[in-house]
Structure 1
């Protein structure tokens, strides 16, 4: 019997597939739930923008800057030292503390009275949310073997789609019936409970990598780690690709509800009822199918573990254009459905590839750096650019200006695909055996 078992294990290793670590399923599930509220809480402002614009009487440019810049600056920049600390200290406690803090800030958003107070709450919310994604990716990487990480991180990546499918329609209903302020307060409360549950039920996984022996300052150590990341050609191309996709994802998240309101004359409840299931169900299907496909790719075909996400990103471009320019319901809905399916396929496999090429002591930092590109650059270029273009084009196109303002974000996924294709070329060279 033992001989037969050894033969099975040997066969799995030859095929490049390890057994699924079922004991890690609960930590993966609750980390995914934490990420659900990470995405939900930051996305609620996009749903509330029309009501806030009317109440506070501010321009689209101001709303674009608040929805993008006020959040992303602190989220991206603070994320670097937090991730560096997470590579050395207790990641579970870092995530739990951050979740509790950003949940409080979400609730406080419902109490603001002007655009400046709104910007401050977004700023502080970003500081809290910076504790989540990069440390969580590192934790998951320690719970799962390298060849199982694409699927594990694809499951983790369904958080955004779960937020859209389940909670976004509820938030839209609350907004229409009780106002946008109540929506923020209701969204903030569950995070406190989840933070406590997370600390009580998940342990910090042990690290295999040896601790640093050379005594250097934290600043020098972080600088050395960052230099090491950008000397890795595969990582550089991944960074560029994620940055281009970030512009698309953040702009779409911030302005799609407003697009439905202005172009298709929908209320927020009706818009959220379309956005939620499409982004949720179709998005989750795309993420999981992509994760399963990449999980099945053997070690003999490593480049395709990034090549598949590259193809998915390329297809987002024409799908986005069809959604924005489609005049009939069937055309724009088909475009929106395809966009929802393809947009996040890349996330799990790309994060898995990233942690596989950098080594255990730089995992959280590497994820934080690519999030810096996706969030800081992508968010500033995405939502803010759409807001500025809306104000410039509105005198000529009126409410339809947003259709052409958002068309620019259909180009960025194609550029992302080209970057990921180059990263796939270097992936076998940098894939670490000790990952």
Structure 2
């Protein structure tokens, strides 16, 4: 059957019907907070498992004798091939079945695969294990987006996504702190094995704690009353790629992630190799910067969206564009600072500002589609965003660093990271284009 898109005008009408002040029904209950915090815990483990490779890049390179290019491929393209494309059939299945069961199974798969990374004795074995991690993580985030959307009222979703999106910051921070400490004290392999084992326990908690909410149950009377069916795979995909608003949100996010993943996968190696940090210093100081920076970006962006999107839907695009513009000078200062203490101080602002795009973009995509299309729409959004950012960003930086090593042996990684700067401009222009389109739709 053909599924009619849930258009932006319908979303505006829905808000108008529900009234201006937040009703008692819209205030999150204890049960809703438990659901959100459980999903956040799983996302923390998701990103912790994903970020261990970049955090432990130096000891892994020394042990398995791999180059920057190989490291970029395993953390970028190889991982993204499974993570991005498997998410599409997983999203289609989740839209037609129990989303909580899909999430629980996915968490178990990626956690077991993370443990396998700790047993890898060669580069091909590590590649295979990381691909399996990507296979599992493909079923983690899209179902969670839809569960949150169907758990929280529309005007609380920015806040909910802001809290949920603390996962990458907390996960990366814990990964740096515990992963680097374990590697420095024992061996890098124990970090993968221990954290993977914790993920298996989390998979059981998801299965027994969360119940799959009613699809569209928080969208208001009109949305629930509208006839719903099983969203068709090709109909949903055609809808997504034919809607400029959805596509621009994904492309702008992808250009931003090209920077964040390109930097994130090599920041620890850069700080150790070219700024003189030790693994124990990374475990403390870099971890603090990541947790504070990314956490601040997620929370503040969610609150800003909840505050301003009621006045103008352009806020979904203007907030990311403004934050990325402010981040550029601090990012360049971080790269060219003479020592690691100043570099980390200058990294803190872009670490926050680089992540202002995520909560607004997710909320926009989820609100632009019908309730029975939300998981797959989230998966398609992640496909475009992560293939560009996660797949190509680290791959590019690793290849550029190896290419530049012959002419700049002392700072090849610094120059490679500097060449990410034009992608700030590309992302800003894409979000400004999205803002213009949202303004045109509002007038229509």
The alignment's TM-score, normalised by the length of structure 1, stands at 0.91
The correspondence for 2:241, drawn from 230, 238, 242, is 230
> Aligned runs of 1:28-427 on 2, under 5 Å?
28-208=36-216, 210-212=227-229, 221-297=232-308, 299-329=310-340, 331-427=342-438
State the shift of 1:47 in Å.
1.5
The 2-side partners of 1:136 and 1:295 are apart by 20
User: How many residue pairs align between the two structures?
Assistant: 417
Superposed displacement of residue 145, structure 1 = 1.7
Structure 1 CA distance for aligned equivalents of residues 286 and 120 of structure 2: 26
More helix by share: 1
CA deviation string 1:300-352 (max 9, x = no partner): 32212331122112323332211111225564233201111112122112100
User: Which residue, 8, 22, 26 being the options, matches 1:19?
Assistant: 26
Cα deviation for residue 167 of structure 1 reads 4.0
CA distance in structure 2 between the aligned counterparts of 1:333 and 1:312, rounded to whole angstroms = 19
Normalised to the residue count of structure 2, the TM-score between the two structures is 0.89
SS in 1 for 2:407: helix
Q: Which runs of 5+ in 1 are unaligned?
A: 1-8
Q: Partners in 2 of 1:10 and 1:390 — Cα distance?
A: 53
> Cα offset for 1:173?
0.3
Distance in 2 separating the partners of 1:247 and 1:32: 24
3-state SS in 2 of match to 1:147: helix
Residue by residue, what CA displacement relative to the aligned partner does 1:94-123 show, whole Å, maximum 9, x if unpaired? Answer: 000010111011011110110000000011
359-368 or 75-84: which moved more? Answer: 359-368
Look up the match of 1:3.
none
Contact 2:77-2:392 at 8 Å conserved across structures? no
- Structure 1 stretch displaced more, 10-19 or 54-63: 10-19
Shift of 1:421: 2.0
Higher alpha-carbon deviation: 328-337 or 163-172: 328-337
What do the CA deviations read for 1:363-397 (whole angstroms, capped 9, x no partner)?
11122112112222222321111111111111221
Aligned-partner Cα distance in 2 for 1:236–1:11: 28
**Cα contact 1:151–1:291 (8 A) shared by 2:** yes
TM-aligned CA deviation for residue 250 of structure 1: 1.3
**Distance (Å, rounded) in 1 between the aligned partners of 2:425 and 2:342:** 21
Q: Distance in 2 between matches of 1:187 and 1:413?
A: 33
Name the Cα RMSD after superposition: 2.2
For structure 2, list consecutive stretches of 5 or more residues without a partner in the other structure.
1-14, 217-223
